[in-house]
Each structure stands twice: as structure tokens, then as C-alpha cells.
Amino acid sequence: MSLPKGPWGSFLGTIDKVDRPQKRPPWSFLGNYCIEILIDWLEREGLMETVERIEGEGKPIAIIVRNEFSRPGVNFFSPFDFSQQLGILVHPPGHEVKPHVHNLIARDVRVTQEVLYLIEGKIEISLYKENRELITTRVLSRGDTILLAYGGHGIKILEPSKILEVKQGPYAGIEDKEFF
């Protein structure tokens, strides 16, 4: 993200520190509610791209959630009909999630959707339409997450990286993917 020129540049450059109590931002006197409104406005105006949805021919290809995302509460980014759900929970100390179990529900999964979480390092990911035509490339850094929903993808390692990958199983072996 390129920051605007002028006095707002330094302000926007520190917005990710909102949820880090060890470093109190100069606007902390506004309170968390005002900060939430400000973050929502910045994201709507495209000044703070912490969540990016990439499409190809009207179909969702990927959702990128940057490490800087810090909106309090339960935040899901994937549509309800995706077989892989992606969300971030941001809660203060003392918050509790009630103990629970998930019900057995039959689901019909026909496409493998995967999530990559970059634990450390830097990668470049190329995203393709289902016809294998390149849509775009993005660089992901430590703490970034991407949900790969449809189409294809390729990854180039830019720095030594550790990546956590999550996708549905069971693994189908050589039938699971087609290289191009």
C-alpha cells in the first residue's frame, strides 16, 4: 500500500498499531469505537487494503488477508457457500468462546480450496483463471493469509519461507491437481 503524501501519511503508517497496547498510538484517546469507524472508512476508501478479493471472469479466485488486519470481533471473509471458511477472530484479554462441538453434517465438496498462512518469509503468488490465463500476481509477507478458491496458482519463494497450508481432504493423490 502506498501512503498518501502530507500529514496523513504518518498517521496511516501507524494505524496497524491500534491493537498493540504496548505502543499507545497518539489517537488512542478516541477510544476503540472511533478507531473501528476510522478503519472501516479507510478500508472503504481504499486507503488501507488489509483484505483483497481477486476475481477472474466474475468468479472468486482468491481472498488475501494482510497481517495488518485488526478489526475487533469475529470477521469472516469467505462467502457462506465456500467449502473452506476463512475468518479472523480479534478479541481482548478475558474474552471467552464458549466450549462447543461441531455437528456432523454431510457436505458435498467438489473443488479443493486451500488456505496458505505465511508464518515467515516472502512469496510471490500468481493467480490464474480456470482457463490457465494469468490474472495477477501478489507478494505475501510474514503473517499474510490467502484463501485460494478457484482457478489456478503458482508460488515463487522470494525469501526463506515457512508456509502453513490447509485444505480439504482426503487427499486424492495424482488426481488432485493438474500442472500447467
Q: Count CB atoms within 10 A of the CB of residue 102.
A: 5
In one-letter notation, the amino acid at residue 75 is N
pLDDT in tens, 153-169: 999 999 999 999 999 88
- Where in the chain are the domains? 1-48, 50-176
Residue-wise pLDDT tens digits, 42-62: 656 555 578 999 999 888 999
Measured CA distances, 147 to 7, 27, 82, 115, 160 (Å)? 35, 33, 10, 4, 21
Q: Which numeric CATH code is attached to 50-176?
A: 2.60.120
Between 20 and 49, whose confidence is greater? 49
The counts of H helices and E strands in the chain are 2, 8
Among residues 52, 53, 54, 49, which one has the least CA distance to residue 127? 54
Residue 58 zone, left/alpha/beta (φ > 0; ψ -120 to 50; rest): left
| pLDDT for the residue 129 | 94
Retrieve residue 136's grid coordinates.
Answer: 495477477
Query: pLDDT at position 151, please?
Result: 94
CA pair distance 172, 177, nearest whole angstrom? 9
pLDDT(77) > 60: yes
Amino acid 24 reads R
CA distance from start to end of the chain = 31
Q: Label residue 41 by pLDDT band (50, 70, 90).
A: low
CA distance 54 to 127: 9
Across 38-42, 49-53, 96-100, 125-129, least confident range? 38-42
